Amino acid sequence: MPDPHPDSLTAPAAGSPLRVGVVIATLGRSDACGDVLRWLLAQTLPAAKIVFSVEKPQDLPDPMGPDIQVVMGPRGLCAQRNRGIAALRDACDVIAFFDDDYIPSVHALKGLADLFAAHPDIVGATGWVLADGVGKGGIDAARAEAIVTAHDQAVPRPWTILGDTLSAYGCNMAFRTRAMEGIAFDERLPLYGWQEDVDFAGQIRRRGRLVKTDAFAGVHRGVTTSRTPGARLGFSQIVNPIYLARKKTMTWPHALRISIANIIANHVKMLRPEPHIDRAGRARGNWIAIGQILSGRIEPEGMLKID
């Protein structure tokens, strides 16, 4: 477990001059956010600024710790992340987006600073997920922290760029601030903003390299609380990819592939659904989405009209 006290933080290395800020957009997960914050306050390279973007004070971890900025406004992952960007734009060279249930390595921000300093052509990066609880019922905090601790205590090795990529994984991604000028998370993708990471990556990769790297790593717990209801998510699973393909931030083959895969998975698994997934609700949302598409409308915000 990292030391949460700010007087234990290591000063930034002379060879890592870039300022790295962190945005955590959260809703209804104050306990999980507290775990993330402890690891952020124990980074070997302290964050230039940490921003929690929330709907209400009850979403915040307690205690908050020193020098944490809070921005408030209406819920919605895309809108909340955009408010975070606005708060950090002038204070950071790189902005990292971590999910509120993501436990980062204590070396994550140092790795990000080194990566972006060493490669001026890189505009965005997605990190190495040591374990992912999404679709598996989640990983509890103690197990997640044990995995990250084992990673951090392993024999250090130079980080690498694993390859260029067309996308980024929203739980642990970072972008060069100056490359983000004029780009925003699409607020037409409401609430959970399904595929918002693909859309943002699709915009920014037109300005430089987008890479996958092990320069920063962590565990995505996949907490199942405060997630989008089944029918609404099922709607987004179909409409959002088609909407992004029309925007040209997702390829048509990828959009069709994930849409069809979701339809098949939801209908097949309805017979024996996972305890943490509302397959019947998702299937219903799939059909509502198909009806909207056949009517000639592609409106991601239509999910807000679904009960």
Q: What is the mean pLDDT of residues 72-77?
A: 95
Residues 6+ apart with CB under 8 A from 89: 95, 177, 180
14: pLDDT strictly greater than 70: no
84/98 Cα distance (integer angstroms): 12
Name 122's bridge partners: 209
Per-residue confidence at 5, pLDDT binned at 50, 70, 90? very low
pLDDT at 1: 53
**Within 10 Å of residue 265's Cβ, how many Cβ atoms?**
17
44: pLDDT strictly greater than 50: yes
16/18 Cα distance (integer angstroms): 6
In this structure, of 7-21, 67-81, 147-161, 293-307, the range with the lowest mean pLDDT score is 7-21
pLDDT at 64: 84
pLDDT at 223: 80
In this structure, of 9-23, 260-274, 277-291, the range with the lowest mean pLDDT score is 9-23
pLDDT at 67: 82
115: pLDDT strictly greater than 60: yes
Cα separation of the two ends of the chain? 41
10: pLDDT strictly greater than 50: no
The number of residues making up the chain comes to 307
Per-residue confidence at 131, pLDDT binned at 50, 70, 90? very high
Q: Which helix (H) or strand (E) holds 88?
A: helix 77-88
pLDDT at 226: 55
Q: What is the mean pLDDT of residues 106-111?
A: 96
Predicted TM-score (pTM) of the model is 0.90
Residues 6+ apart with CB under 8 A from 208: 121, 122, 123, 124, 176, 179
| Helix/strand/coil percentages in the chain, nearest 5 | 40, 20, 40
Encode pLDDT of 19-43 as tens digits.
999 999 999 888 989 999 999 999 9
pLDDT at 205: 95
228: pLDDT strictly greater than 90: no
Tokens of 42: 């124990």
Cβ-contact 94, 123 below 8 angstroms: no
